[in-house]
Amino acid sequence: MGSITLQQVRKSFGEVEVIPGVDLEIHDGEFVVFVGPSGCGKSTLLRLIAGLEDVTSGRIVIDGRDVTQAPPSQRKLAMVFQSYALYPHMSVRKNIAFPLKMAGMAADEQERRVQHAAGILNLTDYLDRRPGQLSGGQRQRVAIGRAIVREPSAFLFDEPLSNLDAALRVNMRVEISELHKKLATTMVYVTHDQVEAMTMADKIVVLRAGRVEQVGSPLELYRKPANRFVAGFIGSPN
């Protein structure tokens, strides 16, 4: 499970139309990257999918269910933010388990899921530490662990690596790609970084001023950019 369909999704903030109408099909298990310049509406589109913003019009369907009016908690999605938003006074274990505790899950099931996520993310030896005692990469993994334990249909990432230094960013890129292979769960990943898009995506969605300019694999976009904007942005020679 993890298919996401957007049908004529529009979003205005007051008088300003930020998303003038997006149609998009995301298939189960795909790694889809939204890429485009700052302010083009990437985060807004992700937040509409997550239910953190209401659409002005249009429909959002997840796993065949119309969730346009559903609150975030009923969409089975897990969002990983740019700022890790970890609780500094809590252990890594408690940070990862936090959404499960909020949902009232039994303690033994919480612990089972935390151990499972920690194993995947190489955090098993760090569960009793606090976020302040971790490296930037480890903190980012804790934030991802908090998403994994919820066993979502899809992960939504909003520029998760933009706070990291260049070397770490490269490592985390590989780690997130490997995580996608391990979990085989849909991931929607927002970035303004062309290299991230080209190296991580099964499918790239190029956005410009809230419109989809082109959808395709990295190779398709490189070989056959739909227009100059896409060519320029992807770095295609055409």
Contacts with ligand ADP, residue ranges (CB under 6 A): 13, 18, 36, 38-44
Asked if 61 contacts 67 with a C-beta cutoff of 8 angstroms, the reply is yes
Considering beta carbons, is residue 40 or 147 the nearer one to ligand ADP?
40
Q: Least CB distance from residue 202 to ligand ADP, whole Å? A: 21
CA distance 107 to 8: 42
Instruction: Give kind and range of the element (H or E) at residue 208.
Output: strand 203-208
Residue 13 binds what, of Mg ion, ligand ADP, none (CB under 5 to 8 Å, by partner type)? Answer: ligand ADP
Interaction of residue 43 with Mg ion, rule CB under 5 A = yes
CA distance 185 to 63: 13
Interaction of residue 191 with Mg ion, rule CB under 5 A = no
Considering beta carbons, is residue 93 or 203 the nearer one to ligand ADP?
203
CA distance 212 to 33: 12
The secondary structure of residue 74, as a DSSP letter, is: G
Considering beta carbons, is residue 151 or 193 the nearer one to Mg ion?
193
Considering beta carbons, is residue 42 or 113 the nearer one to ligand ADP?
42
Measured between alpha carbons, how far apart are the two ends of the chain, in Å? 37
Q: Least CB distance from residue 43 to Mg ion, whole Å? A: 3
**Contacts (Cβ under 8 Å, ≥6 apart) of 188:** 4, 26, 32, 33, 34, 46, 49, 154, 155, 156, 157
Show the tokens assigned to 132.
């302040």
Show the tokens assigned to 86.
């970890």
Asked if 37 contacts 179 with a C-beta cutoff of 8 angstroms, the reply is no
Q: Least CB distance from residue 16 to ligand ADP, whole Å? A: 6
The maximal CA–CA distance of the chain, rounded, in angstroms, is 57
Q: Which stretch binds Mg ion (CB under 5 A): 37-45, 64-72, 148-156, 174-182?
A: 37-45
Residue 232 binds what, of ligand ADP, Mg ion, none (CB under 5 to 8 Å, by partner type)? Answer: none
Q: Which stretch binds Mg ion (CB under 5 A): 43-51, 57-65, 85-93, 195-203?
A: 43-51
Q: Least CB distance from residue 232 to Mg ion, whole Å? A: 20
Q: Which stretch binds Mg ion (CB under 5 A): 39-47, 58-66, 83-91, 197-205?
A: 39-47
Q: Least CB distance from residue 215 to ligand ADP, whole Å? A: 16
The residues of the shown chain that bind Mg ion, judged by CB under 5 A, are 43
